[in-house]
Chain A
Amino acid sequence: MRAAVLAVALASVAALSGCEREKRDFEPPTGSASGAAATRNVSVRAGPGEPIETARLATTQDRRDEYNAFLVNQGKRLFRWYNCNGCHAQGGGNMGPPLMDDKWLYGHRPAEIYASIVEGRPKGMPAFGGRIPEDQLWQLVAYVRSLSGQLRKDVAPSRADGLAGAPPENVRDIERPVQQPAPKP
């Protein structure tokens, strides 16, 4: 009896994670306009190390993307399209810092990464606020986290149809984040 219950429970968990992982979200999250407005303010006020704002964002925004393989994969596509490779290579780092190791200058939490993209960072990271739509920003955030194995392996993207670089995101083990002191501009 208990076994049956357990089985059912497991099955339903699997089911939910399955649905969560596979949903193809075309429409931006409901009320994206207002969300955009909110984040616009954030991107003006919140700087590195303003955890209150970022915490609020983290609770409202990151979940949808981080468990959805489609959205993370969209993030991977945008990472190429918006030429993040230009500086971060395949996350290996070049002019910009590598994104697949355990070192984080500005924090590894989704909202912190979000802030880094929106506001830019010293030493050459441009501010993309206003250039990249809200939902795409969160897709990029999720993908960036997958680069260092922060996401579930069944959600993280697999190899791209391109030159083989580092092993695909979905086989990388998680890098335990180490906060680095942010360099003074």
Chain B
Amino acid sequence: MIENGSQSTHAAAMARREASAPAARAVGKALDVTELPSFAFSHRSLMWWGTLGLMAIEGMVFALAIISYFYLRTHADRWPMSTPPPALLWGTLNTIVLVASMLPNHLAKRAAERLDRRGVQLWISVCLGAAVLFLVIRAFEFAHLNCRWDTDAYGSIVWLLLGLHTFHLVTDTWDTGVLLTLFFTGPLEGKRYVDVSENALYWYFVVLSWLPIYAVVYLGPRG
């Protein structure tokens, strides 16, 4: 079976070479890349660029949502339209937890770049804990919000902003969970450490994108 497979493939490959005139480029001395590393961190890795692309896209979504918030606000004579400004407690608590979570996140990144498996296991677990805690608080945040999505346009845009951000949280939490599991069960290889480092990068994004949203949703109606 394999024999046939291989022969047919070989035949095909050879046939193609004859069928089409051999590549018209001269063949000379070779550039040997054997000694290059098989993975690299930060902007040297594909994953970094992929993550950056996604962050650009999602950053754009957040930006447009915030712009829409102010667009609607300029068309309203009262803001919030029919409700008092949102209570600060849960949102602020959230912000604190989120900002705090940047430390273990940073340490996880460092550990990954040191290829330190135990460190990664430890700090990712902490990050995951923070993320879960955050989601719990976020549940309370929604429950104590000053409006429903169908109260008025204000309610709609506030729920949209929180909803978008929660969506990113959930996905990144799941992502972190999977990575953590992988680091306990294996199989591991070098580029998994790159994944951890990029996952940390994405978490930075989730945190930093929250700060403007927090300002808009909670401080905006007061200022």
In the bound complex, CA of A159 to CA of B151 (Å): 12
A184 to chain B, nearest CB (A): 41
In the bound complex, CA of A164 to CA of B151 (Å): 7
Q: At the interface, is chain B mostly helix, strand, loop or mixed?
A: loop
Interface size class, chain B: under 10
Asked if B116 CB lies within 8 Å of chain A CBs, one says no
- Which residue of B has the minimal Cβ distance to A168? B150
Binary CB contact string for chain A from 151 to 185 against chain B (1 if under 8 A, 0 otherwise)? 00000000100001001100000000000000000
In the bound complex, CA of A167 to CA of B149 (Å): 11
Q: At the interface, is chain A mostly helix, strand, loop or mixed?
A: loop
Residues of A within 8 A of B152 (CB): 164
In the bound complex, CA of A97 to CA of B10 (Å): 83
Interface size on A, residues (CB 8 A): 4
In the bound complex, CA of A64 to CA of B151 (Å): 34
Residues of B within 8 A of A167 (CB): 150
In the bound complex, CA of A167 to CA of B152 (Å): 12
In the bound complex, CA of A126 to CA of B152 (Å): 35
B161 to chain A, nearest CB (A): 19
B219 to chain A, nearest CB (A): 26
In the bound complex, CA of A167 to CA of B150 (Å): 8
Tell me which of A164, A167, A168 has the highest count of chain B C-beta atoms within 10 A of its own C-beta.
A164
A102 to chain B, nearest CB (A): 23
Residues of B within 8 A of A168 (CB): 150
- Which residue of B has the minimal Cβ distance to A171? B150
A74 to chain B, nearest CB (A): 23
B155 to chain A, nearest CB (A): 9
In the bound complex, CA of A164 to CA of B149 (Å): 11
Q: Which of A120-173 contact B (CB under 8 A)?
A: 159, 164, 167-168
Can you name 6 A-B residue pairings with CB atoms under 8 Å?
A159-B150, A164-B150, A164-B151, A164-B152, A167-B150, A168-B150
CB within 8 Å of A: which residues of B?
150-152
CB within 8 Å of B: which residues of A?
159, 164, 167-168
Q: What are the 5 closest A-B residue pairs judged by CB atoms, nearest first?
A: A164-B150, A164-B152, A167-B150, A164-B151, A159-B150
